[in-house]
Structure 1
Amino acid sequence: MAATTVTDAGSVRIITEVIPATDPRAAQLASGSQAPAQTSFQTRGFRKAQPKTIHIFSGIVHICFGVILTMSEHKNPSLPVASGILFWLGILLLVSGSLLVESERRDSPVLVKTCCVVNVGVVLGTLVATGIHGTAIIQNMPGCGKPGPFQIRPEWCLSMNSKVLSNGLDCTMVLLGLLEFCVAVAVLAFGYDTVRQHTYSPLAL
């Protein structure tokens, strides 16, 4: 038999029940009280949602295109190449992807918060990159503006193929930037939700 005691403390009545060790409910209560102590920080939802491969792949693509375009346009660099956006956004994406991979290996609230901070930079970087590539689309190619007196336009200005190719590449980067923007926003949403749930500590009896 379980012993029950009733204690009145002001307007609160406290009922205490002592369960013997042979009672089946004792094993259930013991297993239930030990469950929260298994892991201090649950990030399973964040792990399922994190698109780490997209950020890593996008970062590699940005850096590769940055190297190729810098080598091909070293004399007359376009606006995206001159701004260096392909390099620093690519590095930022690689850092974000690496942090997401690390967050999959271990539970850490600091790591999730760091992922959120880096992805804020990714969101801002993609917005800036979209503006730069959009400006490059509507502008003439470097050196193809209105020539001054006694100046001759370069040969590449006489062919529209170069401009079409440049615009196609900028449009591709804009679409890729929109994808990265959506991915970073998703990471921020799930990361914020995970950190917010962590603030509610379970009550261990």
Structure 2
Amino acid sequence: MIRVVLADDEAMIRAGVRAILSADPRIEVVAEAADGRAAVEAVRAHRPHVALLDIRMPRLDGLAAAAELRRTAPDTGVIILTTFGEDEYIARALADGAGGFLLKSGDPHELLAGVHAVAGGAAYLSPKVAHRVITVLSGGRITHAAAARRRAAALTPRERQVLALVGAGLSNAEIATRLHVVEGTVKAYVSTILTRLEVRNRVQAAIVAYEAGLVDHT
């Protein structure tokens, strides 16, 4: 069972998201919060697999909450709920350790897929958000993509293969199955990849994979 803490300052949004999550028998919403500080406290109390955070909340916004959770509850994956009007926050959320980005206006199946992916240790970017993340971080510059290709080229062929699968949103277990290796081997590859690319987490690695052309993001 995937345990989720849901935080949004709008009661109707929380009700809608809870209804979607409750439709999956493998997901349980263990707590709700109407502000970021309450969300952090709920995560500390319940130790969920995933914290689903709105960006704009009182007391502590979702980005600050994500940063605090990365320090105090690193075993809880964070998914940020966003809109296209919040592009300026994407890079900060990425740096603050978020494992997923979802649109409130997106397909409900993306919400479920994102929760499962992040709970399994994978990164998840819904297709539209992935495109926006790449655009925001690269500024639309070809030179940025070239830099990403150079960084990826420094990896071994096997590491690039693992990076491509990370970029595609696969968990360690799924990558292990795909490559016919044990999960511990994949974890070691991912750790090495993060170090060699000088990135903090799987989402940042996934962005490099997208920008380097290792993943089809059309």
Fold match, TM over 0.5? no
Normalized against structure 2, the TM-score is what? 0.23
Of Structure 1 and Structure 2, which has the larger fraction of its residues in helix?
1
Relative contact order (C-alpha < 8 Å, sep 6+): which is higher? 1
- Give TM-score scaled by structure 1 length: 0.24
Greater fraction strand: 2
